[in-house]
């Protein structure tokens, strides 16, 4: 089988991670969650007390980014993020980090810094890479491009279930997801957008299995196994 790449983009909590991992396992290829890299930088920025936005007041500099040693390790099919030798993976999924990652990702200095890192990751191995700008910017020549979305309401419910949060959190989670999507779609640099040649999957009324089977057959058709 020749090397191939799959780009999965879409808004927050659309099921990109769960589906990408399952597809990676089915094809025996590398899985890369690029959002986790933005989250790691934002964790480092929060710890360092850096101002992120507005961009003209941002304290994120190239010199500071260069001091961060970020490694990605794969353990038992889980992507672990190592920041300056510390495994920070378990600190990355809070709402505070989600919003800070969205803030950080609006900064062109951060996007430029991460572009090469992401391309290098997919350079040598068949990969499925998920994020917001994978099909449009990071891997414009990806073999298959998917834009995975679902209604904000169903994404909110899925996120609550995933984080084990009660239904009383519904409205605050919905507004946090809407806020993040709006910011990710309206930023100047590499906004969240469906690539022209991406296939749109709206998973609002689909089961996880249906989404995976749909992506699986799109890939099989494309690479012709």
Q: Which residues bind ligand DC (CB under 6 A)?
A: 12, 34-35, 38-39, 98, 101-102, 105, 131-134, 180, 184
Closer residue to ligand DC (CB): 94 or 217? 94
Q: Cα(156)–Cα(98) distance, rounded to whole angstroms?
A: 14
Closer residue to ligand DC (CB): 69 or 182? 182
Closer residue to ligand DC (CB): 113 or 132? 132
Closer residue to ligand DC (CB): 34 or 149? 34
Residue 9 Cβ vs ligand DC, minimum distance, rounded to whole Å: 7
State the SS3 of the chain.
CCCCEEEEECCCCCCHHHHHHHHHHHHCCEEEECHHHHHHHHHHHHHCCCCCCCHHHCCCCHHHHHHCCEEEEEECCEEEEEECCEECHHHCCCHHHHHHHHHHHCCHHHHHHHHHHHHHHHHCCCEEEEECCHHHHHCCCCCEEEEEECCHHHHHHHHHHHHCCCHHHHHHHHHHHHHHHHHHHHCCCCCCCCCCCCEEEECCCCCHHHHHHHHHHHHHHHHCC
Residue 131 Cβ vs ligand DC, minimum distance, rounded to whole Å: 2
Closer residue to ligand DC (CB): 187 or 212? 187
Residue 220 Cβ vs ligand DC, minimum distance, rounded to whole Å: 25
Residue 224 Cβ vs ligand DC, minimum distance, rounded to whole Å: 28
End-to-end CA distance of the chain: 8
Residue 1 Cβ vs ligand DC, minimum distance, rounded to whole Å: 26
Closer residue to ligand DC (CB): 39 or 145? 39
Residue 225 Cβ vs ligand DC, minimum distance, rounded to whole Å: 27
């Amino acid at each position: 089988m020749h090397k191939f790449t799959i780009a999965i983009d879409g808004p927050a909590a659309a099921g990109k991670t769960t589906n990408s991992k399952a597809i990676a396992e089915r094809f025996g290829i590398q899985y890369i969650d690029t959002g986790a890299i933005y989250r790691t930088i934002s964790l480092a920025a929060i710890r360092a007390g850096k101002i992120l936005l507005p961009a003209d007041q941002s304290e994120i500099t190239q010199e500071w980014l260069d001091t961060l040693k970020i490694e990605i390790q794969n353990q038992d099919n889980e992507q672990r993020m190592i920041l300056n030798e510390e495994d920070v993976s378990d600190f990355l999924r809070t709402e505070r980090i989600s919003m800070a990652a969205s803030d950080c990702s609006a900064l062109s200095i951060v996007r430029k810094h991460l572009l090469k890192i992401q391309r290098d990751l997919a350079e040598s191995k068949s990969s499925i890479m998920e994020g917001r700008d994978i099909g449009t910017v990071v891997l414009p020549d990806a073999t298959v491009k998917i834009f995975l979305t679902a209604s904000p309401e169903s994404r909110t419910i899925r996120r609550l279930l995933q984080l084990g949060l009660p239904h009383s959190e519904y409205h605050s989670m919905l507004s946090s997801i809407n806020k993040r999507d709006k910011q990710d779609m309206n930023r100047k640099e590499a906004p969240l957008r469906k690539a022209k040649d991406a296939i749109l999957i709206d998973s609002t009324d689909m089961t996880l299995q249906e989404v995976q089977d749909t992506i699986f057959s799109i890939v099989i058709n494309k690479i012709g196994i």
